[in-house]
Amino acid sequence: MDTSNSIEDALNFASQEISIYFGLSVLLLGVIGGILNLIIFTTLKTFRETTCAFYLTVVSSINIGQLIISLFIRILSDGFNTDIRKISWVCKIHIYMASVFALISMTVMCFATIDQYISMTKYRRFSNLQLAHYGVISTCFIWSIYTISFLIFWDSSSGVCTINNLSFSIYSSRFHFPILLGFLPISIMITFSILAFHSARTLISRQMNIVRLSRDRQLTAMTLVHVMFIIITTIPYVVFFVYLLNQHNTGPEQTARNNLIFTIVLLISYSTYSGSFYIYCCVSERFRRQLVYVLMKVCINRWQQWINNRNHNRIMPSMEMILDTHAIRPRGTFLESISVR
SS3 for 162?
strand
CA 147, 150, 151, 152 torsion-angle sign = positive
The pLDDT of residue 3 is 64
CA distance 58 to 53: 9
User: Between 339 and 56, where is the model more confident?
Assistant: 56
Q: What percent of the chain clears pLDDT 90, i.e. is strictly above it?
A: 29
Q: What is the overall mean pLDDT for the chain?
A: 82
Which range in 25-29, 126-130, 174-178, 330-334 is most confidently predicted, on average pLDDT? 25-29
CA distance 74 to 18: 12
CA distance 32 to 34: 5
CA distance 99 to 163: 13
The pLDDT of residue 299 is 66
- Per DSSP bridges, beta strands 162-163 and 154-155 are antiparallel
pTM of the model: 0.81
- Tell me: the pLDDT tens digits for 296-332? 876 677 777 777 777 665 544 544 444 444 433 443 4
How many residues appear in the chain?
341
pLDDT of 264 > 50? The answer is: yes
CA distance 5 to 20: 23
Q: How far is CA 72 from CA 76, 79, 195, 327, in A?
A: 6, 10, 37, 45
CA distance 341 to 337: 6
Q: What percent of the chain clears pLDDT 70, i.e. is strictly above it?
A: 83
CB-based contact 262:193 (threshold 8 Å):
no
The domains found in the chain, sorted by start residue, are 2-283 (1.20.1070.10), 295-340 (no CATH)
The pLDDT of residue 327 is 39
CA distance 309 to 198: 50
The pLDDT of residue 328 is 38
- Calculate mean pLDDT across residues 38-66: 90
Q: What are phi and psi of 89, to 5 degrees?
A: -70, -30
